Amino acid sequence: MGDNSVSSYLQSQAAKSASSASSSSSSKKGDSLDMEDFLTLMVAQLKNQDVYNTMDNTEFVGQMAQYTMIQTLTELYEMSQASYSMSMVGKSVTVEKADGTKVSGIVESANVAGATDQIEINDVFYSIKDVTQINAPETKKEE
């Protein structure tokens, strides 16, 4: 494996990881590149480099910095999504179900442990992505 092919692979995996993080936090593991995979690829790159044309150390540092930045941004996105889901508890929201019908109610709880964050309305869980409206809290008028 040449220097450019490993570098290209790392960059394509980083781009896939970033795009999957922005579209969904559902790939918390699975097809994403983790630090162990990154280091394995880096060792393979070192072992298979051309003896007469060795790779510059700054390129390794750059690749490591890129990977770390993408990993940090992914974790930040996941924490932000969980925080948003938990902040919905107690609020009146409207959710659009897959069949197009809408359900409104007070969010009773949030489940951030699964692949997709969910909120509970009337004992039924809905994806946080299905929330279409956050309603103003009802205030009691004094007479």
Q: Is residue 129 classed as helix, strand or coil in its secondary structure?
A: helix
Q: With bands split at pLDDT 50, 70 and 90, how would you rate the model's confidence at 24?
A: very low
Nearest 5°: the CA angle 98, 15, 50 is: 150
61 and 19 together in one domain = yes
Distance CA 105, CA 89 (A): 11
| Confidence check: pLDDT of 89 > 70 | yes
Q: What is the pLDDT of residues 129-141, one digit of tens each?
A: 999 999 876 666 6
Distance CA 5, CA 45 (A): 9
Distance CA 25, CA 9 (A): 22
Q: Which of 86, 107, 124 is the last residue of a domain?
A: 86
Residue 35 belongs to what domain range?
A: 3-86
98 and 123 together in one domain = yes
Give the count of domains, the chain: 2
In the structure encoding, which two tokens stand for residue 84, read together?
């948003």
Q: What is the pLDDT of residues 4-16, one digit of tens each?
A: 555 555 556 555 5
Backbone angles phi, psi at 74, to 5 degrees: -65, -45
23 and 77 together in one domain = yes
Burial class (CB in 10 A: 0-12, 13-18, 19+), 42: middle
